[in-house]
Structure 1
């Protein structure tokens, strides 16, 4: 019986040793050279907001805003010097907005309406969450948009950007602080069309 116990203990130790060795070997990094990504860890993008939108693949989540910009001819607004804050609604947001407003596609939306929607999502100021004004102030701050109506930025207790807090249609930004050369981009999961 003693010999069986010794063999069993040796097998258990061998299995534990193999598992430990495999886990250590799998953690070894072969290369410390990384391919650069579109945005660095600081969120900077080496191009304009329009360049950022154009850099996404056709099936990515920003293809509908790219189509909307093309339909309205507003490419220059996304390319010209800032500072501006661009709110870029993702595809699911545009699809929901189209359904809510009973449009079959972006091409079915009147160009004037689509232009107003896009201009409302461009603020004539730089709104970046590392800005001291953002950090100290959790009440909505009014900003003028490229459209005729203002938009409000604030943050919640998790320091997520909140758009139009306290209104009928407020939402939290999905991805924030992408910084192209002409401003800052916040990617949203909602489309807001201001109705007075």
Structure 2
């Protein structure tokens, strides 16, 4: 039987199948192009309420940045918000705002990541603005209690406008560049601190911590810390608050090490009180009892670290107990001399005892070199020989050959400058020479500590 092939019909069928397939591909390509999400800049440009924002981004040369991959979260101020900001800061128009300032302000509205409103929580995030102290990224305080507010001044009015490179939240106010006071006021957990700082209309602290003349580090007690603080020594509250402020530096958490720093708190002579910082496995500890519970709230003029206690004014005992370098000294003053209450004696302040004190504090290595410690009867005069009562003698008060009588009764002599690495040399009551003062001016409220590398011995023959 002869087979017949119907070529025209077969060819037509194949042609139609290929044509339909190609048409489907073309339709899909066109659909994908039309469905591509706009960038953050596109969204702003298409929103009639964000015209000034687009103008500002263009003037600050940030359009390309916000057209990048991101993802970014942008808190976008409305035209009304920008108009209020310009008026409040005495700018006639956007053109009057210095470009560098405008750039920092705009970047302070931008956060890395695609942060939808459902992922925002109360706490601090870093903006893209590097107008913080030491060029650090400024912190933004997000408060999600009853909506979303930023730094206590700007509220999200329209959330979750998604773009191809992030998300936009429209806000009702421009977020300024925060100083330390702004951050304190913005966080409800610092309300007790703010109340204490401004009690009775006091503006001393707000003026100081708004200053741009220098940077500050502030250890800010949270509300719970004020609740339990009963000021056991009846110290001046303003001085206590000043003691939480370190002027002249922004000490960030990655820069903190075991060290003493001078604060704005003072003793009766006006000497700046020291604060002892000690990082450990659990974080950062202050004066041996206060813990830093949140770090690096970055402001334009410094940094804030939240702490869990109000830090009372330190005594010389505070510094001896808090520094592990003096653990043997503390043991000698307590466990090894139970019949002599050195702690009470050296805690006296405001002229209620033998204060102020100048303490020459031996390190653990100094005690190790001494060998076995004597019993209490022999140890008490040795410890007393390290204390000069009734005087707060700082390093600047020392002169070559100066002599001071100790609480034990014998005098010590100090010579300047010291030999080798010593800041100064001491001759003790027993006539031992070359004893080195290796650190000076750890300033407490009731006295000052100088660190020595050898235990001082009194004259036992008298």
TM-score (norm 1): 0.66
Whole-Å Cα distance in 2 between the matches of residues 71 and 171 of structure 1?
A: 23
In the alignment, the residues of structure 1 paired with residue 51 and residue 65 of structure 2 have an alpha-carbon distance, to the nearest angstrom, of 17
**Number of residues of Structure 1 aligned to a counterpart in Structure 2:** 138
Paired residue for 2:44, among 36, 45, 53? Answer: 53
| Alignment-derived partner of residue 162 in structure 1 | 149
Pairing of 1:51-130 with structure 2 (within 5 A): 51-56=42-47, 60-130=48-118
Point out which structure has higher relative CO (alpha carbons under 8 A, 6+ apart): 1
The whole-number CA distance in structure 2 between the counterparts of 1:162 and 1:188 is 9
75 and 63 in structure 1: CA distance in 2 versus 1, 3 angstrom threshold: same
2:135 paired with 1:144: no
Deviations 1:107-157 (CA, angstroms, capped at 9, x unpaired): 1110001101100000112221223xx3xx4xx221111102111223123
Q: Give the distance between the partners of 1:110 and 1:171, measured in 2 at CA.
A: 22
Q: State whether residues 140 and 150 of structure 2, in contact with CA within 8 Å, keep that contact through their aligned partners in structure 1.
A: yes
Residue 143 of structure 2 aligns to a residue whose secondary structure is: strand
1:126–1:184 CA contact under 8 A, matched in 2: yes
2:198 corresponds in structure 1 to none
- Show the counterpart of 1:175: 158
Aligned-CA RMSD value:
1.8
- Identify, as 1 or 2, the structure richer in strand: 2
Structure 1 residue 153 corresponds to structure 2 residue 153? no
How far apart are the structure 2 equivalents of 1:154 and 1:195?
A: 16
CA distance in 2, matches of 1:183, 1:121: 13
Query: How many angstroms does 1:87 deviate by?
Result: 0.8
Q: Does the 8 Å contact 1:88/1:185 carry over to 2?
A: yes
Taking the aligned partners of 2:163 and 2:128, their CA distance within structure 1 comes to 18
Secondary structure in 1 matching 2:175: coil
- Residues 86 and 184, structure 1, Cα contact 8 Å, conserved in 2: yes
SS of the residue corresponding to residue 37 of structure 2 reads coil
Off by >2 Å, runs of 4+ in structure 1? none
TM-score (norm 2): 0.29
Larger Rg: 2
Q: Which residue of 2 aligns with 1:189?
A: 172
SS at match of 2:129: coil
SS in 2 for 1:97: helix
Q: What is the alpha-carbon distance in structure 2 between the residues aligned to residue 152 and residue 81 of structure 1?
A: 25
Question: Which 5+ residue runs of structure 1 have no aligned equivalent?
Answer: 1-44
Q: Deviations over 1:40-85 (max 9, x none)?
A: xxxxx811101111223xxx21110011011111101211112211
Uncovered stretches (5+) of structure 2, i.e. residues with no partner: 1-35, 131-137, 180-462
